Structure 1
């Protein structure tokens, strides 16, 4: 499998996670979510992923990182990390800074996006993309009224107002530095869900991923993901806590299927008993 196919799958998976709809939150309280996940490809474990979200009054900070190994990384090993921070008001996020970094063998990559008033202010990518001429150009308009992928996840998993998970149906303009995409979700139904850690009812949502700019214009995996109608994410209520927690995600790829499952979730250090 080509590395760009993997990167496309990882991006789609991460963006899928970013749109799980959630429960109530009192934004004045200091609250931390720590969740760990296991990723599978072709039925084999290929990655571990950790998510941390801190909400303190009108601020949020989030970190998502993982280590990919085996066939999914072409036996070279891949680690990645996202960091995002910004203002948080009534369930709305206003990102200020987003950083994505990855390391594979001797290769390193870093992207930083700074925001101002909901718009992209600056983008820095190191090293510069070698295939820039083959990518759909990202215009200034593409950087308006956007959020980064990790801020989108924070917005999807928190809310300033009580609302059931069945309100899934958000559409977001996401800018990660090198790629600009639209992602939308729609609620399907409640269903029994089973993972290694969770067994019970969960809200099932469909996710659509539409690459807008920054992607390779003629890449087959881009068209596949654009037309992919089978991306699914499931989430479950954390009870009286502030989060609706992702428990399961499925992303069909050109060859095989990627799956992500919750291992454990903790809120303010206490293990969450999902139900």
Structure 2
């Protein structure tokens, strides 16, 4: 079980950690905030995520730490650290620097890239990825007009409405380029007292479309590309004009993998 469970679970946690923690970068002038999240698989806690974020109205920074915990650590122990920083003065966050470090099975993997106005200017992967004929090459155009997997999911809007979902996100991670197509599904109300928010939410469906950097023979990529149960709920952050993910859900062969906001201080 561990051989097949570990890569799908760990990559899914990284996947939704980036989505879920993305929006906390530019909520207001001189903002310092912290948030906690819990990741569950079939209702069982398997990971925690903590987020620290700052914004001065012109520039933002986000730092994220995720740890696999509980029973899941028996088959998928590891940590992931994300960092994103850049410009917050426009109608969305625009990444200028992205960093990712994962530690799993005593192996460390680091990715970093810098960008200017959505175009990547430098990139580094340690250790370098090995050459593989099944990996779709990333060409120059795939590093243009992009955002990192944190800044991509920051949304600004005058109000919570279905049109919030109607957009395509062009994401670059330093090792992979993909699009996420958001589509409106329904309006709902979050009522659970165990979460960090109660009130109206907008549910969007997500479709993952790999462009380059992925492996054509990857079971995880194939699964995510055809996944019909890939959902995100957005909620308003008070009267700030910013919309944040309240919950992200990824259907897996092992059950629903869900990440939910549990605490927010700002």
Alpha-carbon distance in 1 for matches of 2:53, 2:71:
30
Moved more, 138-147 or 242-251: 242-251
Alpha-carbon distance in 1 for matches of 2:79, 2:224:
23
* Structure-1-length-normalised TM-score: 0.84
Q: Describe the superposition over 1:28-64 as per-residue Cα deviations: whole angstroms up to 9, x where unpaired.
A: x222332210001132110001123321121111122
C-alpha displacement of 1:126: 0.7
Higher relative contact order (CA 8 A, sep 6+): 1
The aligned residue for residue 203 of structure 1 is: 202
Residues 9 and 150 (structure 1), Cα distance of their counterparts in 2 relative to 1, 3 Å cut: same
Aligned 8 A contact 2:248 2:259 in 1: yes
- Please say if 1:179 is aligned against 2:176: yes
Unaligned runs of 5+ residues in structure 1 are: 268-275
Alpha-carbon distance in 2 for matches of 1:188, 1:33:
30
Q: Describe the superposition over 1:79-131 as per-residue Cα deviations: whole angstroms up to 9, x where unpaired.
A: 10110111122323232110000112421110001112311111111112246
Moved more, 185-194 or 38-47: 185-194
- Please say if 1:164 is aligned against 2:160: yes
SS of equivalent to 1:134? coil
Residues 183 and 74 (structure 1), Cα distance of their counterparts in 2 relative to 1, 3 Å cut: farther
* Structure-2-length-normalised TM-score: 0.87
Alpha-carbon distance in 1 for matches of 2:227, 2:21:
17
Alpha-carbon distance in 2 for matches of 1:33, 1:91:
20
The aligned residue for residue 273 of structure 1 is: none
Residues 112 and 26 (structure 1), Cα distance of their counterparts in 2 relative to 1, 3 Å cut: closer
Alpha-carbon distance in 1 for matches of 2:27, 2:12:
34
SS of equivalent to 1:89? coil
The aligned residue for residue 271 of structure 1 is: none
SS of equivalent to 1:244? strand
Aligned 8 A contact 1:36 1:265 in 2: yes
The aligned residue for residue 31 of structure 1 is: 31
The aligned residue for residue 245 of structure 1 is: 244
C-alpha displacement of 1:8: 3.5
Aligned 8 A contact 2:100 2:110 in 1: yes
SS of equivalent to 1:101? strand
Unaligned runs of 5+ residues in structure 2 are: none
The aligned residue for residue 140 of structure 2 is: 140
The aligned residue for residue 151 of structure 1 is: 151
Alpha-carbon distance in 2 for matches of 1:142, 1:207:
21
**Aligned ranges for residues 64-83 of structure 1 at < 5 Å?**
64-70=64-70, 72-75=72-75, 77-83=77-83
SS of equivalent to 1:96? strand
Aligned 8 A contact 2:47 2:67 in 1: yes
Residues 72 and 179 (structure 1), Cα distance of their counterparts in 2 relative to 1, 3 Å cut: farther
The aligned residue for residue 272 of structure 1 is: none
Alpha-carbon distance in 1 for matches of 2:82, 2:187:
30
Q: Describe the superposition over 1:169-203 as per-residue Cα deviations: whole angstroms up to 9, x where unpaired.
A: 22111101111110121222211334422443321
Structural RMSD (CA): 2.4
Alpha-carbon distance in 1 for matches of 2:100, 2:27:
29
